[in-house]
Structure 1
Amino acid sequence: MTFRSCNAAMRYRTIDGTCNNLHKPRDGSFKDTLLRLVPNAYEDGKSLPRFNGFDGYLLPSAGEISQKVLTNVSEPALTSLTNLHQVFGQFLAHDIVLTKTMKTSSGGNYKCCKDTGIDETLGLRGEPCYPIKWPNPVGDHGCGNFVRTVGEIDCKSHIREPINFLTAFVDGSGVYGSTKDESHSLRSFVGGKLTKSAHDLLPARGNPHDKSNCILFTENDFCFDAGKLTISAHALLPARSNPDDKSNCILFTDNDFCFDAGDKRVNEVSGLTALHIVFMRYHNLIAQQLSTMNPSLDDEILFQETRRIIVAIIQKITYHEYLPLLIGPAAMSQYGLTEPYSYNPNISPGIFSSFSAAAFRYGHSSVPNKWTNGNSRLPLGVMFQRPYYIQIANGTGYDHTMKGMLIDSSQEVDLEFNKAFQVDLFNTDAFAGNTLAAINIQRGRDFGLPSYNTFREACGLPRLNSFDNGSAQFNRLQMVYSHVDDVDLYIGGLSEDPVTDGIVGPTFACIIGQQFNNLKFGDRFWFENAQSSGFSQGQMNAIRNLTFSRVICDTAKIERIPTFAFLHENNSTNILVECSDNTETPPSMNIIRKLEPQKEDETMSYKFLRATDFEYVKLYFLYHQCYYSSVDVHKSQQNKGFIIHFLIIEDEATSKVYI
């Protein structure tokens, strides 16, 4: 694979994440492989899924673990965090990691379950299929369809590593996409704005036949598209460009459509869709302000400057508001997440396989059963893959969804899952009787993740020598595991008691903490890197002072909101504030007000030593030793000095000559 040469003076990060690290341009980029926090535990040490336990016998099936250990609860224990916290975690996960399952040679889906029964050893023979056995069938199924992820075999070690189909950086790829084609499809190319649909929602999917991850109820429904931004009244996300593509998008009415976005999972649940709309609207709001204050800037500069600001805001919310409540202040300090920023080119920003397949799937346990939407309390299963609940009543479903997430609470992170994830959503032929928990366990084995105890040891935590040494929930695991060293990372992590002032246990806090350390200090374009980000100290302070609550106020019709949106209101530390405060000059606009005049990346002054005898002299401009433009200088101007402004965006150079 070849890569373009990297320009150290680039003002903007590339869409696909390349050239963030100048010496290792592929690190953290689109289609980079996942990394290992500890060595793999593949059955053959190279690529076959983890299959056997400590004593040499088969591990319990993921289906058996899901049925016997995990509890389906209708009224689970709740946290002090709003539902918005766990939804933002899903939005963030969809910004930094996406693995895909293998396809047939014709691009179709593998069907791993046969009428003749289940062959659990398929995965051990190097097959794409690795089905899940269910001792007590869920619904009518005794076999759970499961296909291995797309991987890349290292040419030196011959070890299989899953591929990440997103950029690893916290860079708003869920808003803007991870490839140039995705990004272009989501832009309006007018005033630096993104495309949108009616009522200021996300755009419809660009391919009307693309219904992936979107189920349509009526002929007027469409799938949202994230990352595409067209302009229309009351903008929602854009619809998919192919309105007939309703795969995994359920439409209720003739007016519904599937949304589109930078990450195609945008339609999974209405809360996730709403967050995509938040940042699409905020992008367009800032782009409009920038354009008003800097009318000479063209669409490209307006888009890139706005994108730079949005990415900075997402980074701030992630590290200052979201993560401290997730892993607690001790882990924030232990893993350097509160330390001043200093770029380290020796840190790889890639995603850990243990983070992708286990630790950051903690949120599946924290999703509540019912969601407030207007005057209704809707079961999660009803809203799954249905953009209708955003589009309803001229797009006011978006506002109801945002308000509801501030009212509802996240569940505790434990071995209790809501009924939708354990039964309702997977009791269909499409999912072949699986549960979300079983899929997560099987994915960890597919990735060759070592046991839970191995990760405890790597995190400096004591190994558990018996099932009685852990929490009360950990004690339940002896119902299915014959040895403590057989416990899968995902299940072991969920069973831990939470850290102080956090919601995950110490093992997940360790993996998450190390991951986000790498994503911060291994990102050359981190917003606090003045040299690369281009932000002034005033802009950085404005970004640090901006709260997610303010962003929501600027993008939704909400009257009052807690000071910190991830926590429920109280009368002392998190009071309700009026969204109408500072309406004329929202605090968020300070970021733009402090924006310095646009500067070209490079400015050089020249003059002719003498006028020539030629009528015209042609000046040629080279970039990376390649010709890209020229200008003719008339004889009458050859006795004057001239200035050349070079502008480099995503490694593409343009120039302007002033004589």
Structure 2
Amino acid sequence: MHSYCFFFFRKNPLWGAANTGLARWLPAEYEDGENQPKGWNTGRQYSGFQLPLVREVSNKIMCGSSMAVLEDSAYSQMLVDWGQYIDHDISFTPQSSSRSAFAEGRDCLHTCSNAHPCFPMQTPKDGKLSSNKSCLPFFRSSPACINVQTDVHPAGQRQQMNSVTSFIDASTVYGHSADLEKTLRNLSSAEGLLSVNSEFSDGGRPFLPFVSVRPSACLQEPGSEAAARVECFTAGDSRVNEILPLSVLHTLWVREHNRLAERLTRLNPHWGSEVIYQETRKIIGALHQIITMRDYIPKILGREAFDEYLGPYAGYNDSVNPSVSNVFATAAFRFGHVTISPRLWRLNESFQEHQHFSSLKLQQSFFSPWRLVREGGLDPVLRGLLGRPAALQNQEHLMTEDLKERLLVLNIPETLDLAALNLQRGRDHGLPGYNDWRAFCGFDRIETRSDLAELVGSGALVEKIMDMYGHPNNIDVWLGGLLERPVSGGRTGPLFTCLIGKQMKTLRDGDRFWWEHPGVFSPKQRQELQTHSLSRVICDNSGVTEVPLDPFRLGSYPEDFVFCGNVPSMDLEAWREQPDDGTLFIFIFLRSLFCLPRLYLFNKNTVKM
């Protein structure tokens, strides 16, 4: 039996809640002290130099002389796409809802002047766009209405919002608000199921439901009739359609929820649909935590750094603020953007190029759910994620052209530059520079070009950086952290390893519903949860029949793959309850009301298990 739950108010009920401000680990640096981004005022100098245009930095640093894509010899493409998926579980900074400048009324898509909320990315004189415009559009992030107060928040400073819960809680599956959650559920089911697509299926397995407002903005199959539209999918996170692997992972977890819910219904028919739904949701959230912290993060940080920054779990600490930090969401966890392959592989049962559905350029996978519905479903994409290597960061060619020159954003009529967007977003948020964050992590500040060359490893690259920025203090934190050579056994340099490690520790230690926290699950349930894996989820919810035991580790087919029958699975008998007396039914009813995994009106920290 589970322990009883009861209400009482926590010390910091807004920590980690949706629609509150991102945490500040260092004070923001705005040009007017309160609101104006870095680079807002023409001629403003930093350490005696003007900041370079973000588009100039992108042009000169992100695409070097080499066009080669380096392949990661250790890890699969799944490592990259899980990183994006779990990033969407813990952070989403919305842009301004206004599309025009407040004062002049000019549309941000058609102005190259700084006027809130427009902060266009100016194009250097030698880098005109094909449209002959002198800028790319950029909308500032929405200011936060509710800020989680810390000692580093000077009064009146603009803060940015995290519109989803900071916790690793599968909000990608269930949403970040009670209203959204209701739209994702099949409320008529007796098994506590999530809604699925009623128009198409994947060989008998369900797709995600379509959005309710139609026609949607997603791309359509060339030459298809209007009656044959495949609309955007809907899920717990609105970014589900950005790229096909994201849609695939979202779909897997909806299928897994429904699979577990149906099995729990057979085990405990006395529970009722609400309890089945909540208990299943609790399991799915725990699996997201386990896969992320056990299987993913140690590979990014390296085992030595993981032990240094996180160490063994020591229980819930109510003094730890789990809110996602601004620097993590805006810079450090965007390291993965330079590990995205220019190709989306689609493989057959022998993990070779699919004979009917060829692999795609990255750009062809943007906002194209029709490709899953019309071109073989999840299985070819899943095999590509498991069977092909991740791209390894290459200082000679940091970002694929499809992201740097052809990034597609719905409702913006021109393609964008992801590298420039990341740099501009950091300035929009007033993030301190690279050196300040090195000092925050306890590292030496960079004083000279040779200091920087020691960290980056490429003298030619350092010369380009310093020629543009003038002084090490001016280097944008996303760029500086990105260019550091990886730590031993990891995929990020010392600075990003520090920032990601610190953030992951707060997400774990500040979460009262962390799967290892006593009382959340029984010891037997915790033991069973640890046997499960992303490979098992793939086996149970797709037509893929052979997988690597570790889906993030690159292996050769067939020697490093096993049949699904040999992949361990948790035994749900650990969740069986016996209705031995009438008081149990009262307990179940009360638990369904008060023991929800995440409460949005009060925030999860107002509930104790």
Tell me the TM-score range normalised by the shorter chain: 0.7 to 0.9
Give the Cα separation in 1 of the matches to 2:97 and 2:365.
Answer: 28
Instruction: Specify which of 266, 271, 277 is matched with residue 297 of structure 1.
Output: 271
CA gap of 1:563–1:147, structure 2 versus 1, over 3 A, is: same
Aligned to 2:183: 185
Aligned to 2:532: 546
Give the Cα separation in 1 of the matches to 2:500 and 2:9.
Answer: 22
Matched, 1:580 2:580: no
Give the Cα separation in 1 of the matches to 2:592 and 2:318.
Answer: 22
Verify the 8 A CA contact 2:100 2:107 in the aligned structure 1.
Answer: no
1:113-262 residue pairs with structure 2 within 5 A?
114=110, 118-119=112-113, 122=114, 127-135=116-124, 136-140=127-131, 141-152=133-144, 157-189=155-187, 190=189, 191-197=191-197, 233-244=204-215, 246-252=216-222, 253=224, 254-262=228-236
Verify the 8 A CA contact 1:413 1:504 in the aligned structure 2.
Answer: no
After superposition, what is the alpha-carbon deviation per residue over 1:398-434, rounded to whole angstroms, capped at 9, x for unaligned?
Answer: 1111011112222223551001001123699926463
CA gap of 1:603–1:413, structure 2 versus 1, over 3 A, is: farther
Aligned residues: 553
2:98 counterpart SS class: coil
Instruction: Specify which of 567, 575, 580 is matched with residue 595 of structure 1.
Output: 575
CA gap of 1:272–1:53, structure 2 versus 1, over 3 A, is: farther
Instruction: Specify which of 579, 586, 590 is matched with residue 647 of structure 1.
Output: 590
Give the Cα separation in 2 of the matches to 1:313 and 1:170.
Answer: 10
2:159 counterpart SS class: strand
Aligned to 1:352: 325
CA apart distance, 1:559: 2.2
**Bigger shift: 138-147 or 20-29?**
20-29
2:553 counterpart SS class: coil
Verify the 8 A CA contact 1:198 1:233 in the aligned structure 2.
Answer: no
Verify the 8 A CA contact 2:218 2:369 in the aligned structure 1.
Answer: no
**Bigger shift: 147-156 or 366-375?**
147-156
Q: TM-score, normalised on structure 1?
A: 0.78
CA apart distance, 1:575: 3.1
Aligned to 2:543: 557
Aligned to 2:486: 498
Matched, 1:54 2:35: no
Aligned to 1:111: 107
Aligned to 2:605: none
After superposition, what is the alpha-carbon deviation per residue over 1:321-364, rounded to whole angstroms, capped at 9, x for unaligned?
Answer: 0101111112211112x312410011111011001111111111
Aligned to 1:568: 554
**Bigger shift: 318-327 or 423-432?**
423-432
CA apart distance, 1:645: 7.4
1:96-107 residue pairs with structure 2 within 5 A?
96-104=90-98
Q: TM-score, normalised on structure 2?
A: 0.84
Aligned to 1:623: none
Aligned to 1:636: none
CA gap of 1:598–1:174, structure 2 versus 1, over 3 A, is: farther
CA apart distance, 1:138: 2.7
Give the Cα separation in 1 of the matches to 2:509 and 2:208.
Answer: 32
Aligned to 2:338: 365
CA apart distance, 1:59: 0.7
Query: Which is greater in Rg?
Result: 1
Q: Which structure: greater strand fraction? A: 1
CA gap of 1:526–1:418, structure 2 versus 1, over 3 A, is: same
1:588 counterpart SS class: coil
Give the Cα separation in 1 of the matches to 2:586 and 2:329.
Answer: 50
2:436 counterpart SS class: helix
Bigger RCO of structures 1 and 2 (CA < 8 A, at least 6 apart): 2
Verify the 8 A CA contact 2:18 2:163 in the aligned structure 1.
Answer: yes
Aligned to 2:86: 92
CA apart distance, 1:129: 1.1
Verify the 8 A CA contact 1:174 1:261 in the aligned structure 2.
Answer: yes
Verify the 8 A CA contact 1:152 1:162 in the aligned structure 2.
Answer: yes
1:59-70 residue pairs with structure 2 within 5 A?
59-70=51-62
Instruction: Specify which of 434, 440, 446 is matched with residue 458 of structure 1.
Output: 440
Q: Which structure: greater helix fraction? A: 2
CA apart distance, 1:250: 4.1
Q: Aligned letter for 2:122?
A: K
Verify the 8 A CA contact 1:389 1:398 in the aligned structure 2.
Answer: no
Give the Cα separation in 2 of the matches to 1:367 and 1:312.
Answer: 27
Q: Aligned letter for 2:117?
A: P
2:566 counterpart SS class: coil
CA apart distance, 1:568: 0.8
Q: Aligned letter for 1:235?
A: P
After superposition, what is the alpha-carbon deviation per residue over 1:292-346, rounded to whole angstroms, capped at 9, x for unaligned?
Answer: 111112110000000000000110000000101111112211112x312410011
Give the Cα separation in 2 of the matches to 1:33 and 1:242.
Answer: 29
1:229-628 residue pairs with structure 2 within 5 A?
233-244=204-215, 246-252=216-222, 253=224, 254-336=228-310, 338-374=311-347, 375=354, 376-393=358-375, 396-413=376-393, 415=395, 416-425=398-407, 430=412, 432=414, 434-470=416-452, 471=456, 472=458, 473-531=461-519, 533=520, 535-569=521-555, 575-581=560-566, 587-590=568-571, 592-597=572-577
Q: Aligned letter for 1:87?
A: D
Give the Cα separation in 1 of the matches to 2:552 and 2:545.
Answer: 17
2:135 counterpart SS class: strand
CA gap of 1:483–1:512, structure 2 versus 1, over 3 A, is: same
- RMSD over aligned Cα, in angstroms? 3.1
Aligned to 1:14: none
CA gap of 1:262–1:359, structure 2 versus 1, over 3 A, is: same
Aligned to 1:76: 69
CA gap of 1:419–1:29, structure 2 versus 1, over 3 A, is: same
**Bigger shift: 150-159 or 235-244?**
150-159
1:410 counterpart SS class: strand
After superposition, what is the alpha-carbon deviation per residue over 1:176-210, rounded to whole angstroms, capped at 9, x for unaligned?
Answer: 000111111111121111111159869xxxxxxxx
CA apart distance, 1:377: 2.2
CA gap of 1:107–1:39, structure 2 versus 1, over 3 A, is: closer
CA gap of 1:453–1:106, structure 2 versus 1, over 3 A, is: closer
Give the Cα separation in 2 of the matches to 1:157 and 1:251.
Answer: 51
CA gap of 1:544–1:110, structure 2 versus 1, over 3 A, is: farther
Verify the 8 A CA contact 1:201 1:238 in the aligned structure 2.
Answer: no
1:88 counterpart SS class: helix
Give the Cα separation in 2 of the matches to 1:507 and 1:20.
Answer: 39
CA gap of 1:266–1:598, structure 2 versus 1, over 3 A, is: farther
